[in-house]
Amino acid sequence: MKLIKCRISSFGNLNGFEYDFSDGLNTVKQDNGWGKSTLGAFIKAMFYGLDDGRRSVAENERVKYRPWNNAGAFGGSIEFKWGNGEYRLERFFGSKKSEDSVRLFDSRTGKEFSNTENLGTRIFQIDEEGFLSTTFFSQKDFEAKSNASITAKFNEVNEIQDTALYEKAVSGLETKAKSYKYSGGRGIIPELKAESFAVGEKIERAKRAGRQAEELKENIKKTEAETLRLKARCERLIDEIREAGKAEAFSLKKRQRDKAAAELSELNERKAAVKRVFKGVVPDGKMIADMEKCAEEYGRTVEREKMLIEDVAAIERAAEPAPKKSVKAFVAALSAFAVCFIAAIVFVALNQLPLFAAFSAASVVSAVAAIVLFLKKNKPAATPENALYEKKKAELAEYSLMKERYKNALGEVLSEFDVPLGDGYTFAISEIKRKTEEITALTERIRVLEMEINNLERETDFSALPAAARASVETLKSELDSVQEEYGRNAQILAARKADAKALEAEADALCDYENRKAEIAEKIARSEEELDTVKTTLDFLKLADENLKVKYRAPMRDSLNKYLAFIAGDVVADIDTDLKISVEEKSGIKDTDYYSKGFRNLFEICKRFALADVLFTAEKPFIVLDDPFVNLDDGKLRQALSLVKDLSREYQIIYLVCHESRKI
């Protein structure tokens, strides 16, 4: 098998890269960071895809080789010869495996193959792990390890056809054995034993639950008796509170009635005392309003009289002749007549004859004065000054007369009431008004009290005294609260204990089921242990047969290994076991490769890989990728190794990736 050409659209730091492969040796010498290892990884990825099962960027190929610049599609193509045909393989990668695309074409016909599953395994007859252990030399992992696909390849070389059946049988038996006895308490047998232990604990708990349920039932009986006692006490206290409430209600209503009766008696006395002020006649609102109006007129008349006295005195002081007649005196007299006349009409309507008589006389006087002033007004005046003086004197006489009339009228009316007049008519009238309002308020309050007393006497028979209570309602309620709280706690405890007893009885009832289950588990454990012994015996026989099979290819592997070791390292003689582990023959005895330097260990692994390629691929030689594998070799061994690669390139197509001129071929 040979590579023809690769085209990389975008893979890691390689973008738009193409390479034409030749037969034999293909040396790619570039500086560090150019992408040599990336090119090798691309070749592997074209056939086997990307390994993205790891979390770290260094080990997750899908993450590590995702295009750095995101310019091109992630992937590319590779052309190769295989058997008698030429093919072009295209593979592009997505963010996850389900998004990858794989296409395989026949280069001669251009036809596309429909089946692209497991292409690498089908072409090389080994899986990815086997490929990385044989024809792909990576710097990070030199060691070639035996695996199922390499074993299958050996079997194919030895014409043994039942390898797949063997691997399937071994895998199935190992899986079966693990299923019986995993580590960490997992597996059929440990789980059955764990279940048996758990069921045993359940059996013990069920037995304890039966004993505890019986003990709890006795405790429940005592708690029930105490709860019933507390309930009966609560009921008695409720009855006592009811009776005490009746007694307290009777006492409260009696106090209310007695208080209302005392207040009623006091208010009746106050009302009688106030009524004595009116001497048996209580004035209404209209009468009081008329008295207030009359008092206001009296006040205005007095004020006018004072003003006129001052005016006359001023004229006399000026020694002027009598003042002229004035129209104002006439108007004043006429106004006084009108007021007195209206007042007389009002008092006769109120049947107040004394006030009527007084205001009637005042109206007559006012009328006479108005007539006299009118007649005088029409007489020619001697001088203006004498006319004004005469007018003022006449008006003064008229207002003096009106004042006396108002005074007499008010005195006569107010004499009907027991009120002092020393503070003036207005104060006396306000006292009458206040007393009138007081009588109204007292009357209303008396009515309310009488109604309240009647209601209390109708609702309660005050002659029948209730029985005396043991304590007050408040004291009894406090006692009831305490008993009810204790009753509530007992009821909760009782309910909890009943629930616990029910749960314990249910657990105790399951005892028989637990014992039956434990017997079933014991039978399963015995049967599983027998089956495990059978599986182990069968597996041992199969592995022994496989070991015998591997012995057949051990000799050719050892011969090929020593051929390459002799070419590079001279007289070193090594052996290899069926697990591909190398040991070296020394004079002091057989030594493991771990005793040797890193350079020697690399040398052993390189020769082992070449030997594997010789033994495994007899029908068609594969290409070999060497990713700078000789870094740890000294100068002498490096020259021999490079010479060996040149020699092998006659038989194999070799892609040699190197960064240093000293290791270039």
pLDDT tens-digit map of 530-584: 887 887 777 776 666 565 555 667 888 898 888 888 888 778 889 888 788 889 8
Confidence of residue 158 (pLDDT cuts 50, 70, 90): very low
Neighbours of 491 (CB within 10 A): 15
Count of alpha carbons within 13 angstroms of residue 81, beta-carbon side: 13
Confidence of residue 599 (pLDDT cuts 50, 70, 90): confident
So what's the pLDDT on residue 34? 92
What's the average model confidence in pLDDT over 130-150? 70
d(CA 427, CA 421): 8
Length of the chain: 665
**Residue 512 pLDDT exceeds 50:** yes
The helix/strand/coil state of 481 is helix
Residue type, 657: L
d(CA 403, CA 409): 10
Phi, psi of 141 (to 5 degrees): -145, 95
d(CA 42, CA 464): 116
Sheet holding 574-576, edge to edge: 574-576, 582-586, 589-592
Q: Which of 154, 152, 178 is nearest to 165 (CA)?
A: 152
Q: Which residue has the tokens 């074409």?
A: 105
Confidence of residue 150 (pLDDT cuts 50, 70, 90): low
**Residue 161 pLDDT exceeds 50:** no
Within 8 A by CB and 6+ apart from 57, the residues are 63, 64
What's the average model confidence in pLDDT over 314-336? 63
DSSP H or E stretch at residue 537: helix 511-569
What's the average model confidence in pLDDT over 608-613? 87
Within 8 A by CB and 6+ apart from 613, the residues are 134, 135, 621, 622, 624, 652
In the chain the first and final C-alpha atoms are separated, in Å, by 22
Within 8 A by CB and 6+ apart from 90, the residues are 75, 76, 77, 101, 102, 103, 104, 105
Please answer whether residues 526 and 189 qualify as being in contact, where contact means their C-beta atoms are separated by less than 8 angstroms. Answer: no
